[in-house]
Structures are given as structure tokens and as C-alpha cells.
Amino acid sequence: MGLSNSSSVPENNAPAIETSSEDAQEGLDKVVPNEPELLPKLLRTAHVLFGSSRSFYFSYDVDLTRSLGDGSIPPNSESPLHSQADEVFFWNRNLLKPFLSSGQDSLALPLIQGFVGQRTFVVDSQPPQSDDTGKDSVELSNLSSSKELPASPPVLSSRASIDLRSSERKYLITVISRRSTKRAGLRYLRRGIDQDGFVANMVETEQLLSTPTWDPSSKTYSFLQVRGSIPLFFTQSPYAFKPTPIRQHSEEANQAACRSHFESLSRNYGQLQIINLVEKHGVESIIGSAYETAIEEINKNASEDQKIPFEWFDFHAACRGMKFENVSMLLDQLRDKIESFGSTIQEDGKQLARQQGVFRTNCMDCLDRTNVCQSSFAKHMLEVQLKEEGFDMSVQSDQVTAWFNTLWADNGDAVSKQYASTAAMKGDYTRTRKRDYRGALNDLGLGLARYYSGMVNDYFSQAAIDFLLGNVTAKIFEEFESDMMTKDPAVSVIKMRELAVELCQKRVIADEKEEFHGGWVLLSPTTPDAIKSWPLEEVVLLLTDAALYSCRFDWKSDKVSSFERVELDSITGIKYGTYITSTISLSHIDEIRNAGFVVTYSPGKSDIRRTNTRTFSSRGEMTGKENATEQKDASIPASLANLLTSKSSSSSSPSVRRLVFKATNVDSSVAVVGNDGPKQTETQQVSTICGDIERLALERLVEHPGEERKRLIETGPIISVEEAKKNTGLLEQLGHSLKKMVWA
């Protein structure tokens, strides 16, 4: 199996694997029509990604998206490769759709992102006995670290190219790493898990042992491992050198996603062994402990043979003082397990054995520590496979095995560059099995480079990756130009908002007699009763036949943080129209898409404001005095009864107050399949909400004979474009221009 980017010639009958060139610019004709200034940057990013990064591979002969033991789709020489490829590792699937829809199957070659590297080596079943283990005794002594990554072409030493002794045999070792297209992206912008159970930086690594010619009559061995981010919802800030993991969403949501992840792994790989390499103390322990608890919860209801073993090996503590050789302690603990999982073995097109399970290894980034441990596991399995072939590696003249170390170091560097934009740390140990101060200094430089890249380059690159994979539409670049950020679609925004409305409805509507009429997620100023107050935050508005509820929601923990209840019969007016909050980009001044409304009301005794900080305030009459007596409010739901206490407002209530809302963007950049029906614009959405509020409010008013029916709604700008331009200061404009210069 040769590599086209090497100077060596592939072995006879060896299927060729090639890195892709910049052929991905073909399907970009519909990109960012409203933001042409970002098109050149997108094209440059695509060129780097598919061209100069040398991180994509394809083959004319074999399906690189599937491992040797993946028999889910029997090989069919008559079918095009793209129809048999595993979409999880099929990186150009979205870009090929125009070709496939026009029947151009011959132009559709699946690409994988990751690494493909090969080395040949010689082993001897009867090695000569010698005390000299110098360079002359190393079969591949002329091998050095590959300077051009990630490709590792097969290199034959002068010793391996001559006639072999009868007791010697030449083998080819191939390492293939496949990065998943699910939750794909860059380091701090893609962490943890999504609602479908896919994790960030998920990589399947396969080590193949075969003859150099891939002779089908000889045995071919395959050993699989996987790595992936900790399968919980969490984030880390790219603006800290060692950021603290911040957990997100409820325990139920985390548990459901984690369970889904391991169910998928079990279906694909069989038995599982978790290896968690994060620190047991310090900032990493927060997420590590949560991970351990989640697995304990999964194992509670599992049968004995379905339980997932969890091995927490604190890599930094065990290898303190640059003693990375202590990784052998982990291998000693798991030796029986890895050997029981075994390898997939194929001969004459028939599967003689199938690997029974995989090791799932993770650290925080699933890069440096993970690669050191995975290379250790792979080396052990190589020794087991060769022993089955009749060769004992422990008595070979070559105990340095530089050919193996450099191959796995190249693999680690490749995966690291794709996720963190730098080579892997601790690579000196993987290459040489030695660690000294020079390696530590090199790691410091790599850490600083990752820090810079995470702050400056990754945001646009993440948007481009999501767009090229088809996860988002071209609108992502319009959103990026607005705030120079990218959103993480770990959980569907639609589902998250539906859940928030449902939770708020259960928590804050105390009277069961109140009839629920609707709930919406809207934007609102963080300062109550203010129109010109930034930033805006997403809140939940509930409407019943008796009141309006404006709920502040903690989106990270899925909990109501506070809410305000306003009786419908206290509403005195509703105004809706253009609501411009910024003028620094074209999308911000679109009057159709920037709409909001203001509900004006006279505070009454039944209007309340509550928070979950064990405080409670109720606005009474304008002359109401503070009442220091705290009491339980029987009207609040049981779920909040123990959290909230009550007391009247400490100051007189104003005669008129306001609830201010702005519509969220209806047209999200997230690509949704099968949802092409007509949608309301932001202005139409606001008009509908205001109409519902007015109708229910008027129904509660007592009509007097001969009195004209009252109208509550009026239209007009909340903040017009002209007014917003006056409010946009020079500093804000300069700040956005500076961000655009750096990030766009």
C-alpha cells in the first residue's frame, strides 16, 4: 500500500493511497452571496484544508472509510466506492452532491481526513545472538523522523532490500486514522458531546500488519482503537492557557447523550474499555469525576457482561518528572483485557477472527497523552500478532524499533494539527522513548502556538468546516461577519428552545386553572424596563389566559433563574415595529429581520417577580412599604416552594413599567433536512405574538354598553435605523473593525 507523495515506488499489486489536491473548490459557487468579502477567505481556507494541509486521503482500490473488520457492507466491485463508504468518515460527501446528482460517479472519490502511514521491517525467527545492539544490528537503522507530515511513506533500508535469510520475513505495518465528520472541528470550539451522542475529535485508528505486497494468501491483521472527547456537555474558553471545563445542561440531558454515545460504540465495535487520562486533581478533575459518575449510572442497570469498565489513569501524576515510561504501568493493568479483545485476521478473503472490543482513550484534548498511550497499546498488539506468526520481538536485534515509533509519532502530529493546529506534544517521547528538557521546552512553544491559534484563527476555520460538511448554510458567514464568532450546535437550537418553554411552563405557572396559550424564546435587555440596554439575552415569554410570564433562563444548566408575572388586565399598551440594536453590519440594520415589541403595564398587587436565589419580591401598590416578614407563598409551584421566599418591594413601584422583547433570528444557519416549508419573518412573528396578547387581554376587560372597543396595539419603530446609528459610538465601530481585521 504505497503513498503517492513519497519518492518510493509502491510494492507490486499494492493498492495506491493518495493525498487529495485542491479539488474541493468545485461546489462553492453559491457561497455567501450577501457577504462577498468573505468569499476569498473561504476559498483560501478550503485550499489549505483540502490542498496544502496534506491531511486528506483517498484510494482507487480500497474503501478507506471502513476498517478491515467492518463487514456491515460486503465489498461490491460493481458499485462505486462512494456508495459503499461510511458517511461518518466520508469528508467530501456534501461537496460531491452536485456530481452525484448529475450521475458523475467516476468523479466521486471518498476522502478521509486523518493519517495514513506505512513502514516495512524485517523480523527473524532465529535471530543471531549478539551483545551488540548498536546501529549495525538495527535492520532499519537509516530511518529517521519524517519531516514532512502527515505522510509516512514506506521506506526500505538497505538491509531489507537484499535477499532474506530463510528464518527472516519482511512485513508492512500500516496506520490509518479516520477523523469523524460528526461534531468535527477545532479544539476549544468543539468539545464534549452533542445531543445525538457524537463527540468532538472522534478518531478511529487502525493498525494493519501484512506482507509488503498484500498477498491475500497470507494473513492480514487489524487492530482498532478509538479516541474521543469526554462524552458530556461542556465547554472551555480559548482565552485561557489552561481553562476550567464548564459543564452544560441538565444531568438528564448529559446522561441521555452519554448513553447514546456508548450504545453506538457498542454496536460498532463490541465490548468497550474506557481509559480516562485526565488529572484527578485540579481543573480537569471536574469533568473527569462527572464522566466517572455518568459511567457508574450507565452500569447500574446493565447486565454484568454489558457493563463498561472505567480505568482512570492520571497520566501527569504517574509520569511526573518526565518519566513517560511509566505508561507501562497502565499497559500492565490492561494487558489481559487488550489480549482478550484480540485482532481481526483475514486470509484468502475470509475473516478468520474478529476483534471483540476496543479501547476508548481520552485526555482533555484527546491528543498528546492519548497518542502516547495508544502507541503503547498498538506496539503490544503488534508483538502479540508477530508472536502468532512465529516471531518473538523480545529477542530481535532491533529493540529500538524506530520504524514503529516514528510512524506513531507522525500519526499523533497529524491528528493534532487537524484539531489543535500544531504538532502533538510529547512527540519526542513517542519517537525516541526518551524525554528531556528539550522536549518540555518544545511543548511550551506548541502550547503557546495553540493558544494563539485558538484565539485568532479557529473561529473562521470552524465556520468553513461546518459549511463544507453541510452542517450549516451559507448564512453562517453572515452571522460570523456580525459577531466574529461561531455557534456550537451541540444541541438543536429548536429543541433547546422547545425544552426551555416546557420547563418554564412547569415551573412558573402556579395556578392550574390558567390556560396556556403559547410560549416563545425572544431576546430581551438584561436591564429590566429598559429599551436601550445591551447586551440582549434570550428569555422565555409565556402567555396564559390570565397573565404574561417573562422568564430568565439559565441555558447552561437548563433551569429558570428568575421570572416576572404580569396580569393581562394590567396591560395598557403594546407597540411593535423595527428594533435596531446595532448598525455595525448589514444584517443588523435589516428592518424586516430586526423587529421587537414593548408591553406597557400598570403594576398591580398580583404582579410578581421571583428568582431562584431564595428571594421573592411582589410589587404592590405605588405606596407599598417594605415588609420584612418573610413567608411562604402558597401560590408558587411545589418545585419552587423550597427555593423561594417572599417579601414586598423595598421601594415604591412606578406607575408604568415595560416588558421589552426582540424576535430571534428565524432563519438559522444550521442546516435542517426536510424543513423547507414557509416560515414567518421576524416581523410577522412579532405581529402574531402581539395579536395573541391583545386578544386575551381584551377578553379580560369589562365592556360597558356604548363604549367603543379598545385597541392596545400600535405600530412604530422601537428603535429606528437612524436612532440606532446615533447610538452607535465610534469606539464600537472601531472595535468591530479591529475584530474583522483579526478574525475575518
For 96-119, write each residue's pLDDT tens digit. Answer: 999 999 988 888 999 999 999 999
d(CA 198, CA 181): 10
Q: Which residue has the cell 519517537?
A: 431
First to last CA, the chain: 41
- State pTM to two decimals: 0.74
Lowest mean pLDDT among 188-192, 577-581, 615-619, 678-682: 615-619
Q: Which residue type sits at 99?
A: F
Average pLDDT of the residues in 696-709: 75
Residue 79's pLDDT is 81
Q: How many residues are given for the chain?
A: 744
Q: Using H for helix, E for strand and C for coil, what is the string for 130-183?
A: CCCCCHHHCCCCCCCCCCCCCCECCCCCHHHHCCCCCCEEEEEEEEEEEECCCC
DSSP designation for 1: -
State the cell numbers at 435: 524525554
d(CA 376, CA 374): 5
Among residues 511, 509, 469, which one has the least CA distance to residue 489?
Answer: 469
Classified as helix, coil or strand, 234 is: strand
Q: Is the pLDDT of residue 17 over 60?
A: no
For 319-349, write each residue's pLDDT tens digit. Answer: 887 777 889 999 999 999 999 999 999 999 8
- C-beta of residue 554 within 8 angstroms of C-beta of residue 703: no
Question: Dihedrals φ, ψ of 181, to 5°?
Answer: -85, -10
Residue 425's pLDDT is 54
d(CA 63, CA 314): 37
Q: Is the pLDDT of residue 5 over 50?
A: no
DSSP designation for 544: E
Residue 38's pLDDT is 79
Q: Sort residue 729 into left (φ over 0), alpha (ψ -120 to 50) or beta.
A: beta
Lowest mean pLDDT among 396-410, 447-461, 560-574, 629-643: 629-643
d(CA 528, CA 523): 12
Residue 515's pLDDT is 95
Residue 366's pLDDT is 93
- pLDDT higher for 376 or 168? 376
Do β-strands 657-663 and 647-648 pair in parallel, antiparallel, or remain unpaired? unpaired
For 644-684, write each residue's pLDDT tens digit. Answer: 333 343 444 568 899 999 999 876 666 655 555 557 889 99
Whether a cis peptide bond, with omega within 30° of 0, leads into 238 is no
d(CA 11, CA 163): 16
Classified as helix, coil or strand, 175 is: strand
Q: Which residue type sits at 479?
A: E
Q: Chain centroid to CA 648: how far?
A: 46
